[in-house]
Amino acid sequence: MVCQYKKSVDWKDLNERSFPSGERVSLAALYTEPVIIQKNKKGSFLNVSVEELFSKSNLCLYYPTIILQGNPGSGKSVIAQKILLDWASEKPYLEDFDLTFCLRYEEVKCISEEMNLIELLSWSCSLTSSQISRMVLNSVQRVLLIIDGLDEPDELRFICDEFCISSKFQRASPEVIVCSLLRQQILPRSVLLITTRTKFPHGMLLEGQQRFFRIVGFSEKEVEEYFHKFFQNEELFRKVYEFVRKNETLITACSIPVMCWIICMVLRERFCEGAHVTSGLETTTSIYVDFVSTLLEHHCQGLSQSVLTLLRSLGQLAERGMLEQQVLFDEKTVSETMSDPFLCKRKISQEMMFSFMHHSFQEFFTALYYVLLDEEESKRKVRELLRTVEKGWALSCWSDREANLEISKSKLLQPVILFVCGLCKKEWVSSFFEKHNMAVSVNVETQLKEWLNQCSQRYQNEHMLFILHCLYELHEKSFTGKVLEQLVSMDLSNVQLENAHRWMLRFCFQNCVNIGKLRLSITCDDLKILQSTPYRCEELIHQKASLKKRTKGFCQEIIISIKDEDVIFPLKNETIIVKSAAEVFLQDVLHSVSGLKKVHLQIDKFTGRWIPTVLSLVWTFPSLNELGWRKSVLLERDMKSFTEEDLKTMKKENIESKSDAELFTPECVQQDDEDKHKTTYRFVCPHVGQFRCSLTSLVFVMEGEGEVLYRVVSWDPRLFVGFDQKMTPAGPLYNIDCFNGSLSKLHLPHCEIFSEKNKDSLDVAHFTCGNVEIMKPLQVTETHVMIDIKGLSLYGLLKRLIFPPSPVAAQVLLFLRPIIARQRENVLDVHLLPLTVPLSEVKNQHWENTHIKTSSKCSLTPGSEYSLCCQPEGCTTEKFECDFGPNYHPTFEVFVNVETDEVRLSLLDKTEEKEVWVPRRILLTVINCLYLQITSGKDADPPAQKRLTECEFVKKTQR
Ligand SMILES: Nc1ncnc2c1ncn2[C@@H]1O[C@H](COP(=O)(O)OP(=O)(O)OP(=O)(O)O)[C@@H](O)[C@H]1O
């Protein structure tokens, strides 16, 4: 029986679902082993072969559950089938297994009736239930069970929580059977191999040990091998491969196996016909458009309907499937004309089912359908699409079943947005549309751009990579620049960059003159691709250099910090490997930095080994005038190894030209007893110029030396009586005094987010001796309102209330209250405040609390309701009032059990159900230190004592 089963296993099934019928090449002939990696304990990655997935655990002769994760189209199903085939052809690495089955989860989900495990296995292969029953009943049999495409394990979690079965003969829905297999409640001795798209497979609630692998796709070597197999003719292969190798985008796209196949199909037609090789194969969408166009040209001759009708019906089918999370369609839903070449047939349990060649085509056809509808309908569908995706994002910190459904729907639909973006890039898709007399609705482009603009502000970290990807597909330089320019910071350090990301990032950064702060996690190879990018960003590039040698995994963390034109490049160990990373760094990054002035090499000890590096820096950068390591500039005694000439270059004068306001931090003077937690700021101005206060953002334009004293005072509502228009404070009210000098202009910071409508809504109120003067600003910039100073006293911004409230730039500030003995809960105060309220003010007033640093910026609408959601504690709702002090009361109080080290906080706009401050992890460990002191008092051991003295909060209490 087993022999008969082994003989029945082949590529046929997978072939049929991956290629249009009549295709000349098959998967068997094309199979190329992809790159698979495993993270080792030191955090570096090792390449492993398919065979090595099955190496036994060191400690016992036992296989843990194997989890193979990979992006869509990376070849997970192909590997699953390959393993089944290897077992059937009795490859030694699988000889421990008497039986192997492969359950494809997308097919399992289609079964509506209840069955038992034996029936389910029989359904997936050529054996009958009674044959399987006889084999599996024999308990000495070792079974390898592959579950392919468990992409949304969270779905299963809810099923697992409710049902599970414990016998292989018990009937249940197939999903329940899969859950019970994962939990090893049935077939506990079997070994599981699970393939999944999800990066967080922990949701599968697996039992026992697990080992994680990631399928990366093809490296350049495998792409070449694949092309060789595809274009069997040597001459044709050389021609096509050369063309692809020179085209950076195409060769990068080929690292995803499914794209490799599509590109080969497209190029085969072009090169075989000797036709002009298409330019514009730049974005994923343009490659898909070309592919569909090729199929239409070569496989759809003599259509009985127009191409537009065909594409619309395919699109409608694709869309329905996307919304109902369905990838298999029965014969009734698929009309004859639609089927070939766009859909593939597969027989599932006696029934003929259809699917798109790959899920990505279903996403593409959905997008195509949206842009081919008439204007109104198209607008409505795209609006709904964007809303659904954003709703999923907003719910991402919820964990109930309903939220989970929304989240997975949102994840599934995201790629459709990318394709819609790509279809808006008219230059590249126009010939296809023109040829078939079709047009993309203009509205769609405007709609998408508005959405991307908003989202880039709202989701600066979590969904930024997706937004950048959308910008890449849109491929419009000026729009990309505009969107990114408004970004204050972007944190992509959690993202492990893949090939496709690098080109996308390069395109985005090349078109953005100035990104405020950027955090990235990159390798040496990334540096080459990102090229000119790093010097454009002000803050941090986080580089992980890894050696790809298999035997010697190595990962050294290097931090390069780039601010203005200063580069800080710390190296932890002075090893050869690090030096080679340093060389790569020098070659690839510093060369792209023009006018480099300072370099700090953060090396532990400066020895002669560093001299060549230092000299090469000095020679390469004539503009360099400071070179140092750690915090000190090169010391004379260390310089004796340099020639006079070198020293001269190194000691060049530092000429700095500064046109912007000089930043200063004022002295904070506590006020008298009554108001002792209110601060007066003192600035002693050294010379004529513009000076910006780092705490309040006020800018003083000074005519010469002098002393400026200023503080925040309260707005008195009576002051507004008698105004002909309704006015409201739009910033803190400052009492400003200047002694022994002259202050000629004042720039007050504002928090308005301007639109065409509210552009002129700001005025400045000047209060003196009980009188109010309303002053028209000299100029209003994105951040400040400038006025001429007449006399000193109280100045504050006012806003005319002509329009309904619009969002203002705001901040979320977090403070932990001190904990007292036996208290079982921490109290976290959350303040929602306009961005112009100085943090120093709030800190001073709540001096007894510990400020928890987090990225605090967001935009909030005065008068609107917001829900603060704290995981695991729950949500509360409050109204956001534009409070400009000087008294600041917390908007929310969150009570958290002292045992909890970390919470996840997010802020949701109650009316629009949108996240305005995406979830952040908040660590409560400072307070835990204090808790230790209270419970164990003086008995705390020395390390604990040390931690306690370091704890900022404890210092305050001691004081
Ligand atoms: N190792 C491989 N050798 C040759 N071709 C491959 C290989 N892996 C994938 N392909 C090509 O890519 C296509 C998609 O692969 P596959 O269906 O295995 O991806 P997947 O990771 O399971 O994707 P998804 O998560 O979207 O289901 C295949 O139909 C095949 O054409």
Using the CB atoms, write b or e for 602-615: b if 16+ within 10 Å: bbeebeeebeebbb
738: domain CATH number is 2.60.220
CA 939–ligand 1 middle distance (angstroms):
61
Count of residues making up the chain:
959
| Shortest-distance Cα residue to atom 28 of ligand 1 | 258
Extract the runs of DSSP E, i.e. beta strands, from 205-301. 210-217
Q: Report the alpha-carbon distance of residue 3 to residue 6 in Å, rounded.
A: 5
Q: Report the alpha-carbon distance of residue 255 to residue 557 in Å, rounded.
A: 26
Whether residue 818 sits in one domain with residue 771: no
Structure confidence at residue 279 as a pLDDT band (50, 70, 90)? low
| Pair 753, 780: CB distance under 8 Å | no
CA 73–ligand 1 middle distance (angstroms):
5
Q: What is the position in ligand 1's atom list of the atom closest to the CA of 32?
A: 3
> Last residue of a domain, which of 650, 672, 688?
650
Structure confidence at residue 350 as a pLDDT band (50, 70, 90)? confident
Instruction: Give me the domain span that covers residue 894.
Output: 809-958
If 0-12 CB within 10 Å is exposed, 13-18 middle and 19+ buried, where does residue 524 land?
buried
76 Cβ closer than 6 Å to some ligand 1 atom: yes
- Give the residue ranges of DSSP H helices in 19-116: 27-30, 76-88, 105-108
CA angle 369, 373, 374 (to 5 degrees): 170
Tokens 């393993």 found at: 83
Whether residue 199 sits in one domain with residue 97: yes
Q: Report the alpha-carbon distance of residue 234 to residue 220 in Å, rounded.
A: 18
Which residue out of 13, 67, 78, 199 has the highest number of ligand 1 atoms within 8 Å of its CB and is therefore the one to mutate?
78
At a CB cut-off of 8 Å and minimum separation 6, what does 162 contact? none
CA 331–ligand 1 middle distance (angstroms):
25
Q: Report the alpha-carbon distance of residue 850 to residue 846 in Å, rounded.
A: 8
Taking residues 222-234, what's their average pLDDT?
A: 92
Counted domains in the chain: 5
Averaged pLDDT of the chain: 76
Q: Report the alpha-carbon distance of residue 203 to residue 218 in Å, rounded.
A: 28
Whether residue 759 sits in one domain with residue 898: no
100 Cβ closer than 6 Å to some ligand 1 atom: no
Asked whether residue 338 is domain-assigned, the answer is: no
Whether residue 178 sits in one domain with residue 140: yes
CA 104–ligand 1 middle distance (angstroms):
14
69 Cβ closer than 6 Å to some ligand 1 atom: no
pLDDT digits (tens, 9 = 90+) for 799-828: 888 778 888 999 999 998 877 666 778 889
CA 250–ligand 1 middle distance (angstroms):
17
Whole-number pLDDT of residue 217: 92
43: domain CATH number is 3.40.50.300
358 Cβ closer than 6 Å to some ligand 1 atom: yes
50 Cβ closer than 6 Å to some ligand 1 atom: no
201 Cβ closer than 6 Å to some ligand 1 atom: no
Whether residue 920 sits in one domain with residue 786: no
Q: Report the alpha-carbon distance of residue 786 to residue 780 in Å, rounded.
A: 6
CA 28–ligand 1 middle distance (angstroms):
12
Among the ranges given (310-319, 391-400, 731-740), the one the predictor scored with the smallest mean pLDDT = 391-400
Whether residue 254 sits in one domain with residue 124: no
Is pLDDT of 553 > 90? Answer: no
217 Cβ closer than 6 Å to some ligand 1 atom: no
Phi (first) and psi of residue 827, to 5 degrees: -115, 125
| Pair 765, 723: CB distance under 8 Å | no
81 Cβ closer than 6 Å to some ligand 1 atom: no
The number of beta carbons lying within 10 Å of the beta carbon of residue 570 is 16
Q: What is the position in ligand 1's atom list of the atom closest to the CA of 18?
A: 29
Cα Dmax for the chain: 102
| Pair 103, 147: CB distance under 8 Å | yes
pLDDT digits (tens, 9 = 90+) for 740-788: 668 888 999 999 988 777 777 888 988 877 677 888 888 888 889 999 8
Cα dihedral angle (212, 217, 222, 223), rounded to 10 degrees? 180
Whole-number pLDDT of residue 607: 55
Cα dihedral angle (9, 222, 247, 275), rounded to 10 degrees? -50
Asked whether residue 680 is domain-assigned, the answer is: yes
What's the Rg (C-alpha) of the chain? 32
Whole-number pLDDT of residue 956: 38
Token pair recorded at residue 261: 């196949």
| Pair 271, 277: CB distance under 8 Å | yes
Which residue out of 69, 358, 359 has the highest number of ligand 1 atoms within 8 Å of its CB and is therefore the one to mutate?
358
Taking residues 495-517, what's their average pLDDT?
A: 71
Edge-first strand order for the sheet with 598-602 is 489-492, 517-522, 540-547, 554-563, 566-570, 598-602, 626-629, 632-633
> Last residue of a domain, which of 772, 800, 828?
800
261 Cβ closer than 6 Å to some ligand 1 atom: yes
pLDDT digits (tens, 9 = 90+) for 376-400: 999 999 999 999 999 888 887 676 7
Whether residue 854 sits in one domain with residue 719: no
Q: Which of 730, 822, 741, 833 is nearest to 780 (CA)?
A: 730
| Shortest-distance Cα residue to atom 12 of ligand 1 | 258
Whether residue 113 sits in one domain with residue 213: yes
Asked whether residue 629 is domain-assigned, the answer is: yes
74 Cβ closer than 6 Å to some ligand 1 atom: yes
| Pair 851, 890: CB distance under 8 Å | no
| Shortest-distance Cα residue to atom 29 of ligand 1 | 18
CA 259–ligand 1 middle distance (angstroms):
9
Q: Report the alpha-carbon distance of residue 263 to residue 281 in Å, rounded.
A: 9
31 Cβ closer than 6 Å to some ligand 1 atom: yes
Is pLDDT of 3 > 60? Answer: yes
Asked whether residue 157 is domain-assigned, the answer is: yes
165 Cβ closer than 6 Å to some ligand 1 atom: no
Element holding 629 (H helix, E strand): strand 626-629
Whole-number pLDDT of residue 283: 85
Q: What is the position in ligand 1's atom list of the atom closest to the CA of 34?
A: 1
Is pLDDT of 49 > 90? Answer: yes
pTM equals 0.61
Token pair recorded at residue 748: 């007050």
Strand partners, 831: 813
| Pair 902, 880: CB distance under 8 Å | no
Taking residues 713-740, what's their average pLDDT?
A: 79
**Phi-psi map region of 517: left, alpha, beta (phi>0 left; psi -120 to 50 alpha):** beta
Percent of the chain with pLDDT over 70: 71
DSSP state letter for 637? G
Whole-Å CA distances, 326 to 105, 354, 364, 412, 449:
12, 11, 15, 11, 29
Whole-number pLDDT of residue 517: 57
Whether residue 867 sits in one domain with residue 737: no
Q: What is the position in ligand 1's atom list of the atom closest to the CA of 31?
A: 3
Whole-number pLDDT of residue 260: 94
Q: Report the alpha-carbon distance of residue 35 to residue 255 in Å, rounded.
A: 10
| Shortest-distance Cα residue to atom 5 of ligand 1 | 31
pLDDT digits (tens, 9 = 90+) for 906-930: 999 988 888 888 878 887 754 433 3
Structure confidence at residue 551 as a pLDDT band (50, 70, 90)? very low
CA 358–ligand 1 middle distance (angstroms):
8
Whole-Å CA distances, 276 to 267, 268, 269, 273:
10, 12, 10, 9
CA 495–ligand 1 middle distance (angstroms):
23
Is pLDDT of 521 > 90? Answer: no
Tokens 């959308």 found at: 470
CA 79–ligand 1 middle distance (angstroms):
8
859 Cβ closer than 6 Å to some ligand 1 atom: no
Is pLDDT of 931 > 50? Answer: no
Between 566 and 596, name the one with better pLDDT: 596
Whole-number pLDDT of residue 733: 92
Q: Which of 110, 107, 82 is nearest to 193 (CA)?
A: 82
82 Cβ closer than 6 Å to some ligand 1 atom: no
Alpha-carbon torsion 385, 388, 394, 399, what sign? negative
Asked whether residue 89 is domain-assigned, the answer is: yes
30 Cβ closer than 6 Å to some ligand 1 atom: yes
Whether residue 583 sits in one domain with residue 621: yes
Phi (first) and psi of residue 435, to 5 degrees: -60, -35
The number of beta carbons lying within 10 Å of the beta carbon of residue 281 is 21
Which residue out of 11, 258, 291 has the highest number of ligand 1 atoms within 8 Å of its CB and is therefore the one to mutate?
258
Edge-first strand order for the sheet with 329-330 is 329-330, 351-356, 343-348
Q: Which of 823, 898, 840, 831 is nearest to 866 (CA)?
A: 831
| Shortest-distance Cα residue to atom 3 of ligand 1 | 31
Asked whether residue 189 is domain-assigned, the answer is: yes
Q: Report yes or no for ipTM above 0.95.
A: yes
Using the CB atoms, write b or e for 431-449: b if 16+ within 10 Å: ebbeeeebebbeebbebbb
Structure confidence at residue 21 as a pLDDT band (50, 70, 90)? low
Tokens 């901040």 found at: 811
Structure confidence at residue 649 as a pLDDT band (50, 70, 90)? very low
Is pLDDT of 943 > 50? Answer: no
pLDDT digits (tens, 9 = 90+) for 462-504: 788 899 999 999 989 889 888 887 776 676 766 667 777 777 8
Whole-number pLDDT of residue 69: 92
Q: Report the alpha-carbon distance of residue 822 to residue 806 in Å, rounded.
A: 45
Is pLDDT of 673 > 60? Answer: no
Asked whether residue 46 is domain-assigned, the answer is: yes
First CA to last CA across the chain, in angstroms?
82
CA 311–ligand 1 middle distance (angstroms):
24
Whether residue 262 sits in one domain with residue 182: no
Whole-number pLDDT of residue 537: 45
Structure confidence at residue 635 as a pLDDT band (50, 70, 90)? very low
Q: What is the position in ligand 1's atom list of the atom closest to the CA of 197?
A: 25
Q: Report the alpha-carbon distance of residue 175 to residue 110 in Å, rounded.
A: 10
| Shortest-distance Cα residue to atom 6 of ligand 1 | 257
CA 221–ligand 1 middle distance (angstroms):
17
Q: What is the position in ligand 1's atom list of the atom closest to the CA of 256?
A: 12
915: domain CATH number is 2.60.40.2660
Structure confidence at residue 723 as a pLDDT band (50, 70, 90)? low
If 0-12 CB within 10 Å is exposed, 13-18 middle and 19+ buried, where does residue 40 land?
exposed
Q: Which of 789, 790, 922 is nearest to 855 (CA)?
A: 922
Provide long-range contacts, Cβ within 8 A and 24+ apart, for 509-515: 509/484, 509/533, 509/536, 509/537, 511/477, 511/478, 511/480, 511/481, 511/484, 512/480, 512/481, 512/484, 512/485, 512/536, 513/481, 513/485, 514/485, 515/484, 515/485, 515/487, 515/489, 515/490
Whether residue 822 sits in one domain with residue 851: yes
Single-letter residue type at 649: T
Q: Report the alpha-carbon distance of residue 374 to residue 366 in Å, rounded.
A: 15
| Shortest-distance Cα residue to atom 9 of ligand 1 | 75
197 Cβ closer than 6 Å to some ligand 1 atom: yes
> Which of 115-119, 499-503, 541-545 has maximum average pLDDT?
115-119
Taking residues 449-471, what's their average pLDDT?
A: 86
Phi (first) and psi of residue 214, to 5 degrees: -130, 130
Whole-number pLDDT of residue 838: 93
Q: What is the position in ligand 1's atom list of the atom closest to the CA of 151?
A: 25
359 Cβ closer than 6 Å to some ligand 1 atom: yes
Q: Report the alpha-carbon distance of residue 154 to residue 398 in Å, rounded.
A: 12
DSSP state letter for 172? B
Asked whether residue 517 is domain-assigned, the answer is: no
Taking residues 99-127, what's their average pLDDT?
A: 88
Which residue out of 77, 104, 355, 359 has the highest number of ligand 1 atoms within 8 Å of its CB and is therefore the one to mutate?
77
Peptide linkage before 341 cis (omega within 30 of 0): yes
> Last residue of a domain, which of 774, 800, 826?
800
Query: By three-state DSSP, how is residue 799 classified?
Result: strand
Single-letter residue type at 606: F
DSSP state letter for 913? T
Taking residues 118-144, what's their average pLDDT?
A: 81
Q: Report the alpha-carbon distance of residue 130 to residue 923 in Å, rounded.
A: 56
CA 257–ligand 1 middle distance (angstroms):
6
Token pair recorded at residue 923: 């660590």
Query: By three-state DSSP, how is residue 677 classified?
Result: coil
